Amino acid sequence: MTTNDLETGAEVGQNVAKLEANLARVEELTQRLLKVMGQGRQVAPALQGPSQELYLKAATAYMNEMMQNPAKLIEHQLEFWGKSVKHYVEAQHLLAQGKLEPPTDETPKDRRFAHELWDTNPYFNFIKQQYLMNASAVQQAVEDIDTLDEDEKKRLRYFSQQMIDMISPTNFLPTNPEALALAAETEGESLVAGLENMIADLEANDGDLVVTLADKKAFKLGENLATTPGSVVFRNHLFELIQYAPSTEKVYETPLLIFPPWINKFYIMDLKPENSLIKWAVDQGYTVFVVSWVNPDAGYRDTSMSDYVEDGYLTAIKQVKQICDVKKVNAVGYCIAGTTLSLTLALMKKRKDTSVNSATFFTTLTDFSDRGEVGVFLDDDFIDGIEDEVTENGILDSFFMSRTFSYLRSNDLIYGPAIKSYMMGKAPPAFDLLYWNGDGTNLPAKMATEYLRGLCQDDKFATDGFEICGETVQIKDVTVPLCAIACETDHIAAWKSSYDGISKMGSKDKTFILSESGHIAGIINPPSKKKYGHYTNPEIGLTADDWYASADKHEGSWWPRWDGWLSGKSGKKVTARQPGSDEFPVLGPAPGTYVIAK
C-alpha cells in the first residue's frame, strides 16, 4: 500500500463522515420542519388565483373553435408533436451511436438555463428542450383562442405563463444540474444549508413560506440606509413629517414636500447617499420634507381615502407652510401617493386653496382604463376576496401585497431566489433594494376597498368623478403646473396609462418625461450612474404612441432636467433653513419611528 493510497482512503473516510454528519443534521431539521409546517395562514381560494370561470370560459372557447375550425387545432398539434418527436428521435439516435451529446438545440435562449450542463449534458438538455417546446405549445394555444375578450385573454395569458414558470425544471432538485453538482461537490452540505434556510423562512413568517430576498442583518435604518441628516418635526396618527438638514448656504424659498406611497416605505428614495433622491434634492438647494406614513394595524380599519387626504396631505401641506413661513409648497407624489395627490389637488381646486404651487408625479396612474400588468389582479374574483379579507381582519396585510407584486416578476422575485436559497444553500445577498422590497406595509380596510373599487375598477376620477372629503372631483380639476415622470418598462403603472391621465388634467403647464427602465430603477436613477436615459416631447396632446414616436431621446438621468423645471417653480434663494421652528420643535432624528415600527 502506497502513501497515495493511504491519503485517498483518508479522504474517502472524511467525505463519508461528512456525509453522515449532514444526514444527521437533515433528521434534526426534519423535526423542525414538521413542527412549523401547517402553521401558516389559511389563504382564501379567492386570493390564490383567478376564479374557475376564467378557465371554464377559456376551455369552452377552445372547444368551440376546435369544432368550428379543426384544421387550426390539427396544424398546431402537428407542429408541436413534430418538434417533440423529432427531438426525441434525434436524442435516441445519438445515444444508440454511443455519443453522449445532445441533439441540435434550436430553443430560444433563456437565462434560467445559463448553466453549461443545460447545453452540454444530453439528459439535462433533453429536459430543457422538451420543457421549452411544451411551454411554447401552451403559449400558442392561448394565443389561438380568438373569442375571449381582450381582458380575459390578457388574464389567461398571464396565469398560464405563471403555471409554465412554476413547472420549470430549474425549480426541482432532480432536474437542476447546478444544484445537483453543488450537492455532490459539498457532500450534501449545500442541501442541508438550503433546508436550514427554508425552515428559517418558515419560522420567521409563522409557517408561511416567504423566501428571504436580502440579508436582514446587513442593514439598519439610520445607520447604512436612510442616512440623509434630518429631523421629525411633526407627527399625527397617520404620518411623521421629516425635514432634512440643508447642505447649501442658500435654498429656494418654496419648499419641496414629497409624498411616498404608503404601500411601501419612503426610504426607497434614501437607500444610500450615492443613489438617494432625497439627498440629491437637498444638495440642489431645496428645503426637502418627506412624509413617512404609519404602518397601520387593525385599529385603522375605518381609515379612508378621505382621511389620507385630510389628515395626511392637507395637514402636511399646512405644517410645511407654517414651518417655512411660506404661502405655497411644491409637492411630489410617487405611485399611489401621486394618485392621491391628484385627488387632493382637485379637492383644493374646489375649495379655492392655492397652497400647492406645482406638482410632480412619479409613476402615477390617474386614468385606470388600461391598468397594465397588475390589472390581472383587479377583476372581481380577486377584489371580492380582498374585500372579504379586510372585512375580517381590518387591514390588507403586507403579505398579500408583497406576494402580488412578486408574482408580476416571479422568476426574479420568487423562483430564482428560492433556488439559490433552498436548493443551493446560499445566504441571501446584502442588497439594499431587495431589503426594502421585503419591508412591506399594511393597508387600512376601508382605504384599500375605496381605492380598488372606486379608482382601479370603476375609474371614477377619470370619468364621472370620485368622492373625496364630501366633494366629487374629476381629473380635469387638476390645474396646477405639473411634471410627470413615467417609466418605459413599468409593470405596475404602465407609462401609456400614466400619460393618458396627465393629458386629461386641466393644467395648461404640463411636462411629461419618460424614463427608461421600470417602476423603481427608472425613478431611482442618479446622474452619477449614467445608466438609463429618458425621452421628452412638449406635445402632450398627442396619443401616447405618437408622443413616443416623435419624442427626443436623451442620455442619462432625468433628475437634472426635473431640477431645471422645478427650480423655475421654487422662487428666489433665501438663507438655508434648519429643521423645525419655535412652534414645531424637533421630535427626533430622521428617519423617525414610524418607518422602523413593524
527 and 556 Cβ atoms separated by less than 8 Å: yes
Active site residues: 335
Relative to beta strand 482-487, strand 356-362 is parallel
Task: Catalogue the E-assigned strands of 303-418.
Answer: 329-334, 356-362, 395-396
Spell 147-176 as b/e; 16+ CB within 10 A means b.
Answer: ebeeebbbbbebbbeeebbeebbbbeeebb
Amino acid identity, position 99: K
In angstroms, rounded to a whole number, what is the distance separating the alpha carbons of residues 420 and 131? 21
Order of strands across the sheet that contains 510-515: 552-554, 534-536, 510-515, 482-487, 356-362, 329-334, 256-259, 288-293, 239-244, 230-235, 588-589
In angstroms, rounded to a whole number, what is the distance separating the alpha carbons of residues 338 and 309? 12
361 and 333 Cβ atoms separated by less than 8 Å: yes
515 and 540 Cβ atoms separated by less than 8 Å: no
In angstroms, rounded to a whole number, what is the distance separating the alpha carbons of residues 190 and 477? 59
In angstroms, rounded to a whole number, what is the distance separating the alpha carbons of residues 286 and 329? 11
Distance of CA 490 to the CA centre of its chain: 9
What nine digits make up the cell of 284?
A: 440642489
Length, in residues, of the chain: 598
Amino acid identity, position 119: D
| Angle between helices 52-68 and 150-166 in degrees, nearest 10 | 100
What is the widest separation between alpha-carbon atoms in the chain? Answer: 98
462 and 336 Cβ atoms separated by less than 8 Å: no
Name the residue among 191, 178, 185 with its Cα closest to residue 113: 178
In angstroms, rounded to a whole number, what is the distance separating the alpha carbons of residues 301 and 256? 31
Distance of CA 496 to the CA centre of its chain: 18
In angstroms, rounded to a whole number, what is the distance separating the alpha carbons of residues 493 and 365? 6
